[in-house]
Chain A
């Protein structure tokens, strides 16, 4: 399924989400870093360029929208995938308008994310080529 290895950053205050997504994506051959705490994730994003950032929208302190803002501000070609629960779907739609690549509604399966990553990898390749 994996077209190429991607640098992926996963941010969710649910530790189980971090653990399982890391497991799934590492299996696929991606490089995965996970953060339960969005503040340290933001610091890491400042240091390192990721191909894809997968972030939960509702988190204490810094929420997904701020993460999105930080990534887009950096100006690099990083795809942001938002994870949304029931109550934040409107915010997720707004996020796609503001430049997010796509959003995932909880509960989702690992394959849902995988399909999205494939799509993200494709656009990244298209951009990489010239």
Chain B
């Protein structure tokens, strides 16, 4: 016992050690958060605002294209309408001219009327050529113009030769009549043809416009539907994720949210803020656990001081007597007394060490723990307190329980909290039972802490795990014990349940997942970080 314990940490706890451990742990939390933030920020940026902007740009472009297409087609329709009107008027003039021409051949009436109409038709053609230009029906126009000039030529010749006698019976007269009829009817039918063709064109253009409008509307509808669905799914899925994260936080899991999508958007910044908040919360939680640990020790003070006074008293009595009787005692008696001194000093040391082990271990260190040892350590720490409260203690731990994987100090604190609560519930003594058993089907261990105390009324049961909830008088309880304990259990993947009958007692059941991984493998992985197992 007196040999140098090189493997063990020094048993004296210095404040700087604790602070250093705290800082390292804090640093670790920072690092984890920083990594998550970096991962979140490293993604290319594509914000929801940008997505909305793109959507509106696309909508504008589609509408603009549709509008210009409609405008162009309408312009075409307008040209063709003017052309159709011109050809209709032209056909009308020619038909008028021909009516006078026929009258001439029937009644030999004047031909000047024909010339008037031909002039009007000619003017119309020239205007149309200027106005409409070569856009439509250029070829037909030239043909019509050729016919018109020939027709006019024939009329001019007819007027000139009509003054001659017996011209009406000559062959030239017959030829002129035929050529006039031919050119006249050709012009009319051509003009009507053009008009008919152009009308067909116009109606087909109008149907194109109708189609363009319907198609764009349908296209816009689908585009909008797709974008709305996509955006809402995008936003809702992020909200769902964040909501899940907040629920996770409520159960005490403070691991940062990691990126899942390719792009970074407004939600990424919210996630970063949440991660930061979680890191802060985790630190607060650690501080809370730590400070509550000190408080739990405070509750143990009386018992520990009492326990420490026994070896101190023994040492004092023995050393006094050794001094008093030194001369008259034989060697054997002296040695006996010195051995007593050493033994009692050792006893005092172990009391202090046990306490310090509990207070000092602030670095969270996960290892395989056997419940039997864990519970015994806890009970040793509070053993005297239990005796002082005249509480009878029973420990029922099933043999061969699988180990749990967790932090020794935190779990000891959990059981100590439950134990101290049970003692408080039994001010006039009673029986306290620790029962540990296996819930094989679910892979959990169940540790029941059963007291025969005052019990908890049903309406308070739901609130007892809330922070700052306490039934103890002001100054006696912080209301954090059970909240901290629940936090520790959740931190280990378990939870605490409570069942109570007022007047008969309360049972707290701690569920903790047990370990199924072979121990050697884990140890070797922990020691050198490689994955080489020793199995």
Asked if A and B are interacting partners, one says yes
- A29 in the interface (beta carbon within 8 A): no
- B305 in the interface (beta carbon within 8 A): yes
Task: Fill in one digit per residue for A106-130: 1 if any B CB lies within 8 Å of its CB, else 0.
Answer: 1111110000000000000000000
Q: Is the interface of B mostly helix, strand, loop or mixed?
A: helix
Q: Do residues B320 and A109 form an inter-chain contact, with CB atoms below 8 A?
A: yes
Q: Which residues of A contact B307 (CB under 8 A)?
A: 85
Task: Fill in one digit per residue for B355-393: 1 if any A CB lies within 8 Å of its CB, else 0.
Answer: 000000000000000000000000000001001100000
- B313 in the interface (beta carbon within 8 A): yes
Q: Is the interface of A mostly helix, strand, loop or mixed?
A: helix
Assess A24 versus B387: contact at CB under 8 Å? Given A16-B344, A106-B309, A107-B312.
Answer: no
Interface size class of B (residues with CB under 8 A): 20 to 34
- B303 in the interface (beta carbon within 8 A): yes
Q: Which residues of A contact B317 (CB under 8 A)?
A: 16-17, 20-21, 24, 107-110
Assess A14 versus B302: contact at CB under 8 Å? Given A20-B321, A110-B324.
Answer: no
- B232 in the interface (beta carbon within 8 A): no
The smallest beta-carbon distance between B316 and chain A, in angstroms, is 4
The smallest beta-carbon distance between A34 and chain B, in angstroms, is 13
Q: Do residues A109 and B318 form an inter-chain contact, with CB atoms below 8 A?
A: no
- B210 in the interface (beta carbon within 8 A): no
Q: Do residues B313 and A17 form an inter-chain contact, with CB atoms below 8 A?
A: yes
Q: Do residues A86 and B306 form an inter-chain contact, with CB atoms below 8 A?
A: yes
B310 contact from A14, A21, A23, A60, Cβ within 8 A: A14
Q: Which residues of B contact A110 (CB under 8 A)?
A: 317, 320-321, 324
Q: Which residues of B contact A111 (CB under 8 A)?
A: 320
The smallest beta-carbon distance between A58 and chain B, in angstroms, is 7
- B314 in the interface (beta carbon within 8 A): yes
Q: Which residues of B contact A17 (CB under 8 A)?
A: 313-314, 317
Task: Fill in one digit per residue for B48-88: 1 if any A CB lies within 8 Å of its CB, else 0.
Answer: 00000000000000000000000000000000000000000
Q: Do residues B313 and A106 form an inter-chain contact, with CB atoms below 8 A?
A: yes
Assess A87 versus B302: contact at CB under 8 Å? Given A16-B340, A27-B325.
Answer: yes
Q: Which residues of B contact A40 (CB under 8 A)?
A: none
The tally of CB-CB contacts under 8 A between chains A and B is 70
The smallest beta-carbon distance between A23 and chain B, in angstroms, is 5
Task: Fill in one digit per residue for B280-309: 1 if any A CB lies within 8 Å of its CB, else 0.
Answer: 000000000000000000000011011111
Q: Do residues B316 and A14 form an inter-chain contact, with CB atoms below 8 A?
A: no
- A5 in the interface (beta carbon within 8 A): no
Q: How far is the CA of A108 from the CA of B316 in the complex (A)?
A: 7
Q: Do residues B388 and A87 form an inter-chain contact, with CB atoms below 8 A?
A: yes
Q: How far is the CA of A16 from the CA of B314 in the complex (A)?
A: 6
Q: How far is the CA of A53 from the CA of B317 in the complex (A)?
A: 18
Assess A24 versus B309: contact at CB under 8 Å? Given A16-B340, A87-B302.
Answer: no
Q: Do residues A85 and B306 form an inter-chain contact, with CB atoms below 8 A?
A: yes
Q: How far is the CA of A103 from the CA of B233 in the complex (A)?
A: 79
- A3 in the interface (beta carbon within 8 A): no
The smallest beta-carbon distance between A56 and chain B, in angstroms, is 9
Q: Which residues of B contact A58 (CB under 8 A)?
A: 306, 387-388
User: Interface centre among A88, A107, A108, A109, by most B CB within 10 Å?
Assistant: A107
Assess A107 versus B321: contact at CB under 8 Å? Given A16-B340, A17-B314, A87-B388.
Answer: no
Q: Do residues B324 and A27 form an inter-chain contact, with CB atoms below 8 A?
A: yes
The smallest beta-carbon distance between B203 and chain A, in angstroms, is 110
Assess A86 versus B321: contact at CB under 8 Å? Given A16-B340, A106-B313, A108-B316.
Answer: no
Q: Do residues B325 and A86 form an inter-chain contact, with CB atoms below 8 A?
A: no
Q: How far is the CA of A20 from the CA of B312 in the complex (A)?
A: 13
Q: How far is the CA of A114 from the CA of B312 in the complex (A)?
A: 19
Q: Using a CB-CB cutoff of 8 Å, which residues 111-154 of chain B contact chain A?
A: none
Task: Fill in one digit per residue for A1-43: 1 if any B CB lies within 8 Å of its CB, else 0.
Answer: 0000000000000101101110110010000000000000000
A86 contact from B305, B315, B340, Cβ within 8 A: B305
Q: Which residues of B contact A86 (CB under 8 A)?
A: 302, 305-306, 308-309
Closest to B384 in A: A87
Q: Do residues A107 and B324 form an inter-chain contact, with CB atoms below 8 A?
A: no
Q: Which residues of A contact B309 (CB under 8 A)?
A: 85-86, 106-107
Q: Which residues of A contact B387 (CB under 8 A)?
A: 58, 60
Q: Do residues B312 and A106 form an inter-chain contact, with CB atoms below 8 A?
A: yes
The smallest beta-carbon distance between A113 and chain B, in angstroms, is 9
Q: How far is the CA of A108 from the CA of B315 in the complex (A)?
A: 10
Interface residues of A (CB under 8 A from B): 14, 16-17, 19-21, 23-24, 27, 58, 60, 85-88, 106-111
7 residue pairs from A and B, CB less than 8 Å apart: A16-B318, A24-B321, A58-B388, A60-B387, A85-B305, A85-B307, A109-B317
11 further A-B pairs in the complex, CB-CB below 8 A; given A16-B317, A20-B314: A17-B313, A20-B321, A21-B317, A24-B321, A85-B313, A86-B305, A86-B306, A87-B303, A88-B306, A108-B317, A109-B316
